[in-house]
A = this chain, B = another copy of it.
Amino acid sequence: MENLNDIKAPTIVLVRPQLGENIGMCARAMLNCGVTDLRIVSPRDGWPSDSAVSASAGALDVIDNAQIFETIEDAIADLDYVIATTARLRGMTKPIFNTIESSNKIKQETVNGNKCGIMFGPERTGLENDDIYFANAVLNIPLNPNYSSLNLAQAVLLVCFSWLNSDNHFEVNHEMPELANKDDINHFVNRLESELDNSGFFKSAEQRPTTLMNLKNFFFRISPTKQEVQTLHGVVKALVAKK
C-alpha cells in the first residue's frame, strides 16, 4: 500500500461523540486505513475511556495519542482545509463532495502542503450548522437514499477507506501561496465580530446569530491565503480607524 507512506493521512475530528465504545471503533476503522491522528471535541462520557480502549481492538496507537479539545476552534486550529461530514444538506453555502471527490480534494490539498481534517458529528444528531461553518466543504456519503443511517464508526470507515483507495496522482502546485490555517481565520473572524458589534452592524439581537453564522461560514469556506487574511485585518483596521 504505497500511498500509506506517500501522502499524509487527514486528521479525524470527532465532535461531541457520546459513547466511548464508538470512539474505540472509530480508532479501529482509522487504523485499518492507515489514518492515525484522532482529535476529540468534548466527549460526553469523558476521557480517557476504558470502553474506547476495549472497543478499539488493539488500535492503541490511535487511542493513546488522541487529543482532547473543548471546542472545534481549538481542535482544528492548525489545520488548513477541513471537510464536515453530514447526512443532511441544509442550505449551507459550501461545496458538497461525495467520498471520492472528498478524498481527491484532500490528497490534492495535502500534496500542496496543507494540513487536512475531516469532522464527524455526534452519533444521534450529526454535526450542527454551528459546527459545519468551520469547514471548507461538506461531505455527503452516497448511500441508499431510503436507508442511509450509518453508525459513527461505519461512517469513519467509509471515509478513511475512500481516502486510502483514492487516486494518488496529483501535481504539486508550486505557485500556490500558503493557506491561512483555521486559527488564523478564527482570529480574524473574532476580530471582525467584535468590530461589527462596536459599529452597530447587527440590526437586532434576534438577527445577530444568523448574520454572524453566514459571515463565519463564508470566511471558513473560502480558503484564503495567509497573506489575504493579513490584508483583511488591514481592511478592518482601516475601516474602523476611519470612523
Known: A149-B57, A157-B157, A161-B158. A143 touches B100 (CB 8 A): no
Flag whether A34 is at the interface (Cβ < 8 A): yes
Q: Give the complex CA separation of A99 and B164 in angstroms.
A: 12
Flag whether A165 is at the interface (Cβ < 8 A): yes
Flag whether A32 is at the interface (Cβ < 8 A): yes
Does B1 lie within 8 Å of A144, measured CB to CB? Answer: yes
Does A32 lie within 8 Å of B148, measured CB to CB? Answer: yes
**Chain B nearest Cβ from A32, distance in angstroms:** 5
Flag whether A200 is at the interface (Cβ < 8 A): no
Does B164 lie within 8 Å of A32, measured CB to CB? Answer: no
**Chain B nearest Cβ from A12, distance in angstroms:** 14
Q: Give the complex CA separation of A25 and B142 in angstroms.
A: 19
Does A145 lie within 8 Å of B1, measured CB to CB? Answer: yes
**Chain B nearest Cβ from A189, distance in angstroms:** 35
Residues of B within 8 Å of A23, CB to CB, are none
Residues of B within 8 Å of A144, CB to CB, are 1, 4, 31-34, 164
Q: Give the complex CA separation of A142 and B164 in angstroms.
A: 8
Does A154 lie within 8 Å of B100, measured CB to CB? Answer: no
Does A32 lie within 8 Å of B98, measured CB to CB? Answer: no
Flag whether A150 is at the interface (Cβ < 8 A): yes
Residues of B within 8 Å of A142, CB to CB, are 1, 164-165
A121-171 CB contacts (< 8 Å) to partner B: 142-145, 147-150, 154, 157-158, 161, 164-165
Q: Give the complex CA separation of A158 and B32 in angstroms.
A: 12
Does A29 lie within 8 Å of B154, measured CB to CB? Answer: yes
- Which 8 pairs between the two chains have the least Cβ-Cβ distance? A34-B144, A31-B147, A32-B143, A158-B161, A142-B165, A32-B144, A1-B145, A154-B157
